[in-house]
Structure 1
Amino acid sequence: MRAFRLLTAVLALTVLCAAAASARTKTSLNTGWKFHKGDPATASENNFSDTSWTTVNIPHTWNVNDPFDDEPGYYRGPGWYRRELIVDRTLVGKHLFLYFEGASQVADVYVNGQKAGSHIGGYSAFSFDITSLTKPGRNLIAVRVDNSFNEDIPPLTADFNFYGGIYRDVWLIATDKTHLSITDRASSGVTISTPYIQRGEGIVAIDGIVNADPSTPDITVLTSIFDASKRWVDTSTSRIGDDGRFVLNMGVRKPRLWSPDSPYLYSVKISVRSGSKIIDEIEQPLGFRWYNFDGEKGFSLNGKPLKLHGVNRHQDHAGLGNTVPDRLHVRDMEIIKDAGFNFVRLAHYPQDPSVLEACDRLGLLVWEETPIVNYITKSDAFADNSANMVRDMIRQHRNHPSVILWGYMNEIYLRVPKGRDDLYPATVELARRLNSIAKEEDPSRLTTIAFHGNDIYNKTGLGDIPDVIGWNLYQGWYSATVEDFGKFLDDQHKRFPKRPLIVSEYGANGDRRLHSTQPRRFDSTTEYQRYYHESYMAQMEARPYLSGSALWNEFDFGAELRGETIPHLNQKGMYTFDRKPKDIHFFYKAKLSKQGVLHIAVGDQLKRVGVPSAKETVDVYSNMSSVELFQNGKSLGKKTVDGGRKASWDVTWRSGANVLAARASNRRTPITDTALVTFAPVTAASNEIAINVGSNASFIDSDGRVWIADQPYSKGSWGYIGEKATRIYSQPPDRNILRTDSDPLFQTMVEGLTEYRFDVPDGEYEIELLFAETKNERAGMRVFDVLIGERIYLGSFDPVAMVGRDRPFRKMIRAESKGGLSIKFGSKIGEPILNGILVRRISRR
């Protein structure tokens, strides 16, 4: 037997090495496209002139900028792409396919003026056989892409941008006339699974389709398995049936298992032969693992308990929109893995092939889902498109061992239109259909849906359909308090103890420009973000029945409809949109990583102002047992790191540079982290005082100026005065202030003040008053005077009449201080407001 296997190995390797020129080729078509935003009537025809069009490369989107400007909405409509294709002598006689990895969201493809095909859905690949449409020499490819709203195409609405364009790679695939299927929903044409892994043996089940030309003689399929070092493991030869299918089982003795800690990958090479000649060949990943979800015990992998610690990830990037090159997709996955996470939810759609390949290689377990979000349309077309998206996703990605869950809906009751209660049973019916399709396409994996925190999913029966329930929970951000998070989970588990549960989303905003020693819900300070995540992590760790979690989100991402402190961004990321880490990232790294972690959590606020000798808490995240902190070379003491992977010190800031150094030991190897914090004391005698009026948070503007948190007036200092004076946050709290990048200065206010007083020294001052109406819709609802002494600087001031709602207005005033500065506010209609104030001394007396 051993001699036979060695002979088989030698023959297999000899045949595989002979593949060379006759196997398929894959050529990038990413360069040299002409693009036009619009819909010219004859753009598909060869004689159409595109000389005035813009030259672009793929990936491309027409929505890089417009979702992030202050104009409501962004372009959603058609755009055209055209490119020349040369069919040279090496391609003549080959079968030719156009392969698109993604175009959003409807694509119509033409070759030499004839339609090659159409595809619906912005997040899955598609391919067309163009052999009969091409000729030797010059050919013309034209593609119409349309990202318009369509009630029959999910997603209908969502908290992310629907970027339009050909935003993933485009390929020309050339094959022999007999080849593995490329048009089976743009899949590999081969399904690989591991139905049996026990007693030292792993069975590999392989099922594929060959498009066989009748003129091709003696067709066989040679299937070979190789280990991670590309050493041969096993080979089998198959004949195809009349329908082109081939089915076989192969075995691997003592297979190495795939897991997050050891993501061991085999590969399967499938070669189609005519006689002894290889005429087509592909390679697919293979990983041996098995897993289970249990309502009481949680998740297990390869027979061992494993808590899923994960993140959600959207596919866009600052300055790129969704046109992210493969290297940045891979880098995102590397960042996630490096932090110690073992799980990623690809929200809310199938993602680039490079993402799945990276997850296989790095050891990241994957929940992948289709973009059916917020609500459905009750139509056959919507249901059919949803079904096609599930089939596309599974066939294209089912060979990746990293994938463990297929999802097909997210928060599907969140935006059900008022008066459309008929959509609830229709959604349940659609979910049953999609769940059945997922099981039909891939019986080896489990299904899931993510719910938002509402019991309606249980009441309608939707919670009884998928194998695993995901809950998107934001107690302490969108509602209630952080302590209500654990209570919700316990209630669900008590009522449905057999349901496996994942916390599929949780998060809070973190704007690195905003900071507070008294953080509060909705303030977007990184301090509240850290408090929120520390609390949630502790509550999840205390609940062993939880299978795992996926925080929202690893990276900030584009969301045009959002206002918030940075409009058009969802800022719940551990990283900024341009991939800079926030301090909260290091909390998770300290909790999850096996590397030595030591991080002084001041990176989000390296520039500070405050009262002289201000004392503030400095936290250090670490997975060491103890840490010593130094300030300007002086030890502040050694502290034990708690179960939350944190140690804290009260630090008195010195004026100027504060060099912080943390030191710890990892198995006798010293680890250090340093940070430079600059501190400027501010008193009533300072040359400049900037106040973020109405806010609990300081704000760092684009000039580096720190606007400090507001306060009621106290003698010898500054602050607002008035019996009715009330701090007001914008209504709603995500109000976009137009024509400014300093939105936080205008999103909070003091309403009902009668005076704002500064006990500054005598002298001449420049005063800048900041206003924005975020509460009243119409002019005439708020009118007031602004005075210093007896002089009226703003008379009968109506912010809406002056500049409109949600728009900034700045008023510069020069005034003298005689025993202090007092800016007074006199009400005429409604209550006066003030959003910000900057006082700058020009001269002393």
Structure 2
Amino acid sequence: MMIRYFCVFVILGSLLGIQPAEGQESKRLNQNWEFVKQDLGGIWEAVRPVGKGNPESVPLWESVTLPHCVNATDAVDPDVNYYQGPSWYRTAIEVNNPYQKGRTLLHFEGAGQKTAVYVYTTKVGSHVGGYDEWTVDITDAVEAFKKTEVYRKQFKGKIPVSVRTDNSRDLEMIPSDLSDFNIYGGIYRYLNLVYTPALSTDKLFAKAEVDGDGKSGQLTVSTRFYNPMGISEAKVLLKLVDPSGKVVAKTEKKLNGLSNDTGLWKLQVKRPVLWSTNQPSLYTLQYEIHSSAGVAKGTEKVGFRNFEFVEKGPFMLNGKRLLLRGTHRHEDHSGVAAAMTENMIREEMILMKDMGVNFIRLAHYQQSRIVLNLCDSLGIMVWEEIPWCRGGLGGDVYKEQARRMLTNMIEQHYNHASVILWGMGNENDWPGDFPEFDKQKIRVFMKELNDLSHQLDNSRLTAIRRCDFCSDLVDVYSPSIWAGWYRGNYTDYKAVSEEEFKKVKRFIHVEWGGDSHAMRHSENPDKALSKIKTGLGADERAGDASLFGGAARISKDGDWSESYLVNLVDWHLKEQETMPWLSGTAYWPFKDFSTPVRPDNPVPYMNQKGVVERDLTKKEAFYVFQSYWTTQPMVHIYGHTWPVRWGEQGEEKMVKVYANCTEAELFLNGKSFGVKKRNSQDFPAAGLRWNLPFVKGENTVTVVGKKGKVTVKDEIKFTYQIEKWTKPAKLTLTKIDQKDDIATVEVKLYDDKNIQCLDAVNWINFSLAGEGKLMDNLGTSSGSRKVQAYNGRAIIKVKLNKGKSVVAVQSDGLSAAFTNL
């Protein structure tokens, strides 16, 4: 039996849930904050008067802007564990509410992980859970403080606001500290000052059932009011505008009794313009709430679509099969950790879409409203999940947090057209936080969450990943399949997937891929596969992520080169094109991210499985995805960050081209080596590969691709080295570039005959003395002071601060090298 879900979701704004309404005044509180990374003796230490420049004033606060993450740099500091504990923020704000008897609120889009809020010395609110949106009404505390002498004299007519955040380890909280990501602290999403009338919206919900051919649908809108003063009457005006700007319908309704969830509108919509991943058409809903308190109004976007996960079959969107081509996202970025700005988030999401993504799993927690809005507008379907991740199952406090976060996630993101799956958890078969690990108790609680999800929203499906003993409880299940990385060979992928597909009603495959150390390349990347036993499954098991001990596996015994990863990705994508029963997959992850459980990786504390680095620098695998998933003509020669290739004199070396073109012609040093046709099933590189006789020294490779009448071109230049090397014997350090006040230095490893060791993977340690500063703790291959070499070299940037510095580099067993800047 198939379950078919026909739905349309109006993306409705709300005060506490989705977006500040137009009729409210909302201001981001980004500037003029001070921060201290420790606890205080009490709130008085945040607000007590101190003399200007008082040297005895402790603790010492630093100026910051929001969003701000406590762990912006220490999460990837190779020498310390990242900080987990209390921190404080403080500021003083002007509060001038324009509404008579209006309410003044602080709206947190997310802060981790336990948060308390104070107006002067009065605690006005608190929250547990680092990924929810939540709001604190500060109206009464502000009015009381304005009557004090301190308000006039010490704070000069401003309101002191202090916020304590705390990401201390706590076994009775989710997510578990056993998770493969950092549990960040700080006000790492936007914080807004909101003025609203005394009657406004708390939550607005919309749901529509759409018939099979999309010719007719019904939209139902309801609201939950925010009404602290007990206003009893209101009038609501609603208007729906189609994507072309035409008014589809409007209504007006008088209401009495505003305490409970209230139905507002049932609207029949004929032939709605459907939302899809290729054409994410959005309507606009306008609403006004008139009462004795004034008018609260706003506009929100509307998306109409229907979807279906066919039982024992593929995924359907608007009645047609759609292969979900997905990835994952952690809220993590170079230099700021979780505190990504709106521009950073937008750049990342657009880059995903440019890669061809139409589906994303937001791992492993509900994410910023900005992400969901971009998924709506870009056409990216969403699996969003609560952070019940690893560790087992805690007690009543633990369970209540999970229920609350599930409720918050669904109610806050209910109206996004992009959301199709609510995730109940991840790797819940992973014990460790409690003496007891009881599968039956986990099953009981998983069923409870699943039932709660359907009760809150029966229009989406539920899902989990990697907990086989709960696979029958949710609507859609993803097993653990890591063919060619943690277990087996990547050529095992299809057979393993088919076996797992047979075990469940609705199958999806999220999390696959492998680590790659950016700028590391290999002439023989598949060499380690000869050690790997096949036919024994492809799941990840306890200890597989470790770089030490256990059976042979690519994650431990491979070279972590980009060259291997493109082969793994290429194989998976070609196979996915021949699996008509497949609903979809999601590569893990889009971007490298920080994790406390991987200190020994080539960039310490980084999960390096991304197709872009932590700063969005593209790795080679990005273009493999583009070649399968995009239609805009593209062509890319593998090896743009591979400055020196090596081999024998006269030996033919493979050059791979990743393209979505029909055909391509390759040139070496100006000479054509022929035209080849693209065939997705001709592995590797879909048949666009040439064996070329490089010349010693400089080489130029050019490709010209054709798709219809469009021609695209790519070119790389590199050196070909035929000299053999022995083990590294010395280091050299050179400035290779300078732009404005930023210099780039490069270390190279040579043997005792001054031949560069192109396969050297030595640990490199940079340091600096002088007026400059190393641009490190960024979590990238070129932004860490401790890093494994890539092809016998490593680079780092230095901010010169318009002064002089000496950079040093060390590697065990070798003499240090220095350079003056």
Q: How far apart, in 2, do the equivalents of 1:446 and 1:549 lie? A: 16
Partner of 2:374: 358
Partner of 2:281: 264
Partner of 1:625: 662
State how 1:684-723 maps to structure 2 within 5 Å.
690=728, 703=746, 705=748
Contact 1:43 1:80 in 2 (8 A): no
SS at match of 2:333: coil
CA offsets 1:601-642 (integer angstroms, 9 cap, x no match): 122313334444453210001112211001121111111222
Match of 1:741 among 786, 792, 810: 786
Alignment of 1:191 onto 2:212: no
Q: 1:279 to 1:213 in 2, by over 3 A?
A: farther
Contact 2:761 2:789 in 1 (8 A): no
Contact 1:151 1:377 in 2 (8 A): no
> Alpha-carbon deviation of 1:470?
1.5
> Alpha-carbon deviation of 1:24?
1.2
Matched residue type, 1:328: M
Partner of 1:655: 696
Contiguous gaps of at least 5 residues in structure 2? 1-19, 51-56, 147-156, 529-553, 731-743, 764-780, 793-809
Partner of 2:137: 129
Match of 2:707 among 652, 666, 682: 666
Q: How far apart, in 2, do the equivalents of 1:654 and 1:204 lie? A: 67
Contact 1:238 1:246 in 2 (8 A): no
CA offsets 1:798-827 (integer angstroms, 9 cap, x no match): xxxxxxxxx9531459xxxxxxxxxxxxxx
Q: How far apart, in 1, do the equivalents of 2:791 and 2:274 lie? A: 56
Partner of 2:166: 146
Alignment of 1:219 onto 2:240: no
Q: How far apart, in 2, do the equivalents of 1:612 and 1:702 lie? A: 31
Match of 1:475 among 457, 479, 483: 483
Q: How far apart, in 1, do the equivalents of 2:49 and 2:360 lie? A: 46
Larger displacement relative to structure 2 (600-609 or 544-553): 600-609
Q: How far apart, in 2, do the equivalents of 1:598 and 1:746 lie? A: 25
SS at match of 1:501: coil
Alignment of 1:48 onto 2:48: yes
Q: 1:382 to 1:417 in 2, by over 3 A?
A: closer
State how 1:341-420 maps to structure 2 within 5 Å.
341-416=357-432, 420=436
SS at match of 2:813: strand
Q: How far apart, in 1, do the equivalents of 2:341 and 2:22 lie? A: 30
Q: How far apart, in 1, do the equivalents of 2:673 and 2:403 lie? A: 61
State how 1:532-543 maps to structure 2 within 5 Å.
532-543=568-579
Q: How far apart, in 1, do the equivalents of 2:615 and 2:88 lie? A: 29
Q: How far apart, in 2, do the equivalents of 1:217 and 1:492 lie? A: 56
Q: How far apart, in 2, do the equivalents of 1:38 and 1:333 lie? A: 34
Contact 1:44 1:142 in 2 (8 A): no
Larger displacement relative to structure 2 (144-153 or 195-204): 195-204
Runs of 4+ in 1 over 6 A off after TM superposition: 727-730
CA offsets 1:667-702 (integer angstroms, 9 cap, x no match): 222221112223344247xxx98489xxxxxxxx97
> Alpha-carbon deviation of 1:418?
9.1
Partner of 2:549: none
Partner of 1:159: 180
> Alpha-carbon deviation of 1:62?
1.8
Q: 1:228 to 1:47 in 2, by over 3 A?
A: same
State how 1:362-761 maps to structure 2 within 5 Å.
362-416=378-432, 420-422=436-438, 424-451=439-466, 457-458=467-468, 460=469, 462-496=470-504, 499-519=505-525, 520=528, 521=554, 522-562=558-598, 563-644=600-681, 645-683=686-724, 690=728, 703=746, 705=748, 741-743=786-788
> Alpha-carbon deviation of 1:560?
2.8
Q: How far apart, in 2, do the equivalents of 1:235 and 1:326 lie? A: 33
Bigger Rg over Cα: 1
SS at match of 1:405: strand
> Alpha-carbon deviation of 1:230?
3.6
SS at match of 1:594: coil
Partner of 2:267: 250
Partner of 1:695: none
Contact 1:222 1:238 in 2 (8 A): yes
Matched residue type, 2:27: T
Relative contact order, CA 8 A, sep 6+: which one is greater?
2
> Alpha-carbon deviation of 1:47?
4.1
Matched residue type, 2:421: L
> Alpha-carbon deviation of 1:281?
1.2
Contact 1:622 1:646 in 2 (8 A): no
TM-score of the aligned structures, taking structure 2 as reference length:
0.78
> Alpha-carbon deviation of 1:291?
0.5
> Alpha-carbon deviation of 1:91?
5.9
Q: 1:72 to 1:742 in 2, by over 3 A?
A: closer
CA offsets 1:490-517 (integer angstroms, 9 cap, x no match): 2223343xx1111110011111332222
Match of 1:289 among 282, 300, 305: 305
Q: How far apart, in 1, do the equivalents of 2:476 and 2:705 lie? A: 41
Q: How far apart, in 1, do the equivalents of 2:639 and 2:237 lie? A: 59
Q: How far apart, in 1, do the equivalents of 2:581 and 2:80 lie? A: 44
Match of 2:331 among 315, 318, 329: 315
Matched residue type, 1:36: V
SS at match of 1:703: strand
Contiguous gaps of at least 5 residues in structure 1? 1-19, 182-188, 452-456, 693-700, 711-716, 720-726, 731-735, 748-806, 814-837, 839-845
Contact 1:601 1:621 in 2 (8 A): yes
Q: 1:258 to 1:546 in 2, by over 3 A?
A: same
Q: 1:491 to 1:707 in 2, by over 3 A?
A: farther
Root-mean-square deviation (CA), in Å? Answer: 3.1
Match of 1:171 among 192, 197, 200: 192
Between the aligned residues of both structures, percent identity stands at 29
> Alpha-carbon deviation of 1:217?
7.9
Larger displacement relative to structure 2 (612-621 or 73-82): 612-621
Q: How far apart, in 1, do the equivalents of 2:198 and 2:360 lie? A: 39
Larger displacement relative to structure 2 (424-433 or 164-173): 424-433
Larger displacement relative to structure 2 (345-354 or 410-419): 410-419
